[in-house]
A and B are shown apart, each in its own frame.
Chain A
């Protein structure tokens, strides 16, 4: 069974802390994505990566960075967490072999920044 695993289901951090959200996929997918989900706003793309060490900004990259050192792992980094980054974070992956290939999602990390 294909899997996208996010390391934490719930996370509580303090303002100003550096936060790492980890995501691992076991499907050998080229593409990996980080979304932020907020009520009434749906899912918004933060960053995506189409290959190791490659990354591109999504629609709301401010305050975030990413790292993809290995194909299976895509990390989202909050350099200095702020309360407005309290949200649900969803990682997803997909293959590049077909343009309309569906996204496979992790179960999400609910991050609270106090």
Chain B
């Protein structure tokens, strides 16, 4: 069975600072993909960043980067220079076949001015 665990239900960060959201997963698969999705108060889920498990290089997208540790099955999201618009629920997700996604329970991030 595939599981995704986000151990931080809620976090806060000051505007312009850096915050890291944690995610661990469990799988026996070797080829898979990991995602971070953001859900702002509008409820529209937005893809933040994607990582292929076969790539050792960590993915980056502007202020968003990941720390992917395959052996430890860890996939954390780092947000640099936090902005008020980053306030949202963040979901870690895992997929290994046929587009069947497994999601974590989410981390609510609050960026304070």
Contact = CB atoms under 8 A, between A and B. Distances in A.
Interface of A: 31, 33, 35, 40-45, 48, 50, 58, 88, 90, 92, 94, 96, 99-103, 105, 107-108
Contact of B103 (A42, A99, A100): A42
17 contacts: A35-B103, A40-B105, A42-B6, A42-B91, A42-B106, A43-B91, A43-B101, A48-B99, A50-B98, A99-B97, A100-B33, A100-B50, A100-B52, A101-B99, A102-B35, A102-B50, A105-B44
Contacts of B52: 100
Contacts of A103: 37, 45, 47, 99, 101
Task: Say whether chain B's binding surface is mostly helix, strand, loop, or mixed.
Answer: loop
Contacts of A43: 91, 101, 103
Given A99-B99, A101-B99, A103-B99, A41 B50 contact: no
Interface of B: 4, 6, 9, 33, 35, 37, 42-45, 47, 50, 52, 91, 95, 97-101, 103-106
Nearest to A95: B99
Contacts of B6: 42
Contacts of A42: 4, 6, 91, 103-106
Nearest to A50: B98
A94 B44 CA distance: 16
Contact of B45 (A40, A90, A101): A90
Nearest to B47: A102
